[in-house]
Amino acid sequence: MISCQSKTKTTGFQNGDIIFHASNSGQSKAIQIATNSEYSHMGIIYQQGDDFYVYEAVQPVKLTPINDWIKRGENSHYVVKRIKNVEKLLTSDKLMKMMQIGEKYSGKDYDLYFEWSDSKIYCSELVWKIYYEALGLEIGKLEKLSDFNLTNEAVKIKLKERYGDNIPKDEIVISPASMFESDKLVTIYSN
């Protein structure tokens, strides 16, 4: 179980902080182009003892030591954001609820098709659903796949690889870009 300590003096991270980076995965560039964003991957920071982890949707959904997570990003660059009014909104009870909700996704497969379901899950969907279910907070705007830039050649190739000729343009999605730009978050650290 993840501890409920709220912060550490050495890093300034807090349980529930949201961390973003540009992944080195094969789909990262297509996500960045389609969403017009520097960032393609994200997760929630949790503390366990003296160590910090990122709860993320990769294959499978799991806790990853924060230093390993950072090293997986392009040039080890990352940004940490925090919900506004964190002291009021993210009480220890709410944090515990977030962790309990997150547990139902633990071990689930990564969703390569970005479907809005709970059977498989992708990174921004995981973070969005945990915050929404625990706090009733919608971080970022839900969109349709058709709202993104699907005309770039790198994006077209990735879409063809995933969907063939049946691209589900009406599928509801949440992107790291939309969450990154949310007015409900403030940046607390960028390296």
Rounded percentage of the chain residues whose pLDDT exceeds 90: 83
C-alpha to C-alpha distance for 178 and 140, rounded to whole angstroms? 5
Query: Each residue of 35-59: pLDDT tens digit?
Result: 889 999 999 999 999 999 999 999 9
For strands 143-144 and 41-48, give the pairing: unpaired
Q: Determine which of 2-16, 42-56, 100-114, 175-189 has the lowest per-residue pLDDT on average.
A: 2-16
Structure tokens at 54: 């990122």
Question: What's the predicted TM-score (pTM) here?
Answer: 0.91
CATH architecture type of domain 18-190: Alpha-Beta Complex (3.90)
Q: Where are the domains of the chain?
A: 18-190
**Residue at token pair 């960028």:** 190
101 phi and psi angles, rounded to 5 deg: -65, -45
